[in-house]
Chains A and B, each alone.
Chain A
Amino acid sequence: MATELLEAAALTCLICDTPNRTGASICESCSAPLSLVLAATDREPRIVSVIGDSNVGKTVFLGFLLDMLAQRANNFEAIPKGAYSLDLPQTVISHMAYRMFPPKTPMESHHWNWAYYQVTKRSKHPKWVDLVMPDMAGEAIAAELASPSTFRVIERLIHRSAGLLLLVDAALAGNGSTQPDFFALKMLSYIDAMFSSKRRQKIDMPIAVVLTKADYFPEAFDNPERFIGANLSRFAHMCASRCNNLAFFASSVVGALGYATSENEDTATPIPLHTSLRGVMEPFEWMVAQL
């Protein structure tokens, strides 16, 4: 009897289903915060994962997205479930407002910021969706791609995700780097291996491919799909052959970038001189419509 009570009180991790001892704050298996479980009271939350390479802009994108939702952008209404859900937007906004980029997301998953929001588009018959959106470290994602199951939390998160926002660096790709193409290709290959066991079976999960830093290449805004075809051709071919539910977007957050440097320095510090948001809400809006 006592054991049953203890089990009933134990919290099952929302991400990896591991039962955790009472009083634990993070999952002992995957390090996801157990406060997510406490927040999930009304309906089963849908996980939307923002994934992409290191420095692609995941933290800034997600931080502004959450802040815009909190300000009812595009007729959305979003209720943060728990104060921890506001940590990420607060960090991003407080840095960007002072023309600084936020610090890099740490590798260790117990240091990541998580956001749990109840979201709806305001209408006559609003449909509420519970969304869990973690801010994952790009290095951790890369490590998981290189050696699957290294970061169990990432593996479980993607497996549990109802949709993915896959961020790709348009500035790098447009300047001829093959890194964004190969990273996105690896990411899609990883997802493909996870969800589709047969060659004819495609990935059904909605995936929004978002070109970040697209202000460097205005043509990315004109036609994101064409830009991807021209600059990330390997990834574009795999998208066409393996994805059933895919959409392409372009976004930018920084209106102008300066670099601070002095004569004695070899490196330059990027300074976001002002903030001009473009294309941040659209992929999210599409994603919510798919859920």
Chain B
Amino acid sequence: MLKGLFARGRAALDASALFGRAAAEVGALPPATTDPVTEALRTERLGLILGKRAEWADLPNYEQAFATAVRAVDERFAFVPEGTVSLALTTYDEPGQPEVDCETEPFLLARHTVTNEEFQRFVDSRAYEQPELWPEEVWPHLIDFKDISGAHGPRYWSQGRHDRRLARHPVVGICYYEAAAYAQWAGFRLPSEAQWQMAASWRIRSAAHTYRRYPWGDGMEFDRCNIWLSGHGQTLPVDACPRGAAPNGALQLVGNVWEWTHSDFHAADREGRMVFGNSVMKSIRGGAFDTYFAWQATAAFRTGLESLARVHNVGFRCAMKLLAH
């Protein structure tokens, strides 16, 4: 069956996704195969297919899988041009506060955050039991990465399954390491906070060289995003609020869920003292459905969270380098 799917190109991938979704709803994905290309396609590890070109090029089904993955990435990722971002160095946001300018290279950023049904494939592939996906310092904590029933999975799942009603909502209840492991498993990575800010502020190199306060412009509009004042009170599906998209089509960079980045969080307070957490803090960006202050859900607002925290309002999206021709 999967060989037939390859022949039908993009339609095949969609069918595969649909099949995977339907299978997930009844509790299981199609059976795993021993062919790495087929397996990667079955689990939609698109970045892995693209990244293994040198290694898998001789496999008979690779070129078609590669073409399928390219089309899927083209559909699901948005191009972020090169530019400059100014990262605040302090926890207070006032004019004249110290900033550092960062240049960002062009890259691809997922149009939406990873959903529960997408993360389900990661859980179903027993990724929590694959040590190569996890840094050694986090191995002792792997036993804590459980759902409410004690099975491996995000904090708010049960029996290793997501709530089917939330299949298209962003996965939450995952710590930084789970987000990073998923990205690695799928062949992607997490964006740095400078990259994330570039995508949200759209400060491309141009004659104006200005940045946007929000992905859609400079004024807060509650119906373009999901923050506390929007009144939804919970996460929305990842394709909701299309009017809040960035110019490249990336959705919900502001609101719905905070997003893990791979950058450590460093900042100083008003007196110049460094701000620490109880453990290593990672930068999270964008605000969430329960973010009370609109100014904390902007393209430039910086905050952090302890890297092992598995909370209800933080998800993530993947990034990748531009494909070489």
Listed in ascending order, the chain A residues whose CB lies under 8 Å from chain B are 64, 71, 96-99, 215, 218, 221-222, 255-262, 265, 268-269, 271, 273-278
Contacts and interface: CB of A to CB of B under 8 A. Distances in A.
Interface string B115-154: 0000000000000000000000000000000001000000
A275 B148 contact: no
B304 A258 contact: yes
Contacts of B267: 258
Contact of A261 (B229, B258, B274): B274
B312 A274 contact: no
B19 interface: no
Interface in B269-325: 269, 271-278, 281, 284, 287-288, 290-293, 295-296, 301, 303-306, 309-313
A98 B270 CA distance: 10
Nearest to A222: B148
Given A97-B293, A276-B288, A277-B228, A261 B276 contact: yes
A257 B309 CA distance: 12
A258 B292 contact: no
A258 B281 contact: yes
B61 interface: no
In terms of DSSP, what is the predominant structure of the interface of chain B?
loop
Nearest to A278: B290
Identify which of A215, A255, A261, A277 gathers the most chain B CB atoms within 10 Å of its CB: A255
Contact of B92 (A99, A215, A275, A276): A99
A275 B91 CA distance: 13
B203 interface: no
A258 B296 contact: no
Contact of A258 (B173, B276, B313): B276
B161 interface: no
Contact of B277 (A64, A258, A262, A265): A258
Contacts of A261: 273-274, 276
Given A260-B268, A262-B274, 13 more contacts: A96-B293, A97-B295, A222-B148, A256-B277, A256-B284, A256-B303, A256-B309, A268-B276, A274-B287, A274-B293, A275-B293, A275-B296, A276-B292
Nearest to B290: A276
Contacts of B258: 255
Contacts of B301: 274
Interface of B: 91-93, 148, 155, 173, 228-229, 258, 267-269, 271-278, 281, 284, 287-288, 290-293, 295-296, 301, 303-306, 309-313
26 contacts: A96-B293, A98-B93, A215-B311, A218-B155, A255-B303, A255-B313, A256-B304, A256-B306, A256-B309, A258-B281, A258-B304, A259-B276, A259-B278, A260-B91, A261-B274, A261-B276, A262-B271, A262-B272, A262-B273, A262-B274, A268-B276, A269-B269, A271-B275, A273-B91, A273-B275, A276-B292
Given A71-B229, A259-B277, A64 B303 contact: no
Contacts of A275: 291-293, 296
Given A271-B91, A278-B312, A260 B275 contact: yes
A256 B276 contact: no
B258 to A, nearest CB: 8
Nearest to B289: A276
A64 B293 CA distance: 11
Nearest to B229: A71
A221 B173 CA distance: 13
Nearest to B267: A258
Contacts of A96: 293
B313 A276 contact: yes
Contacts of A255: 258, 288, 291, 303, 305, 311, 313
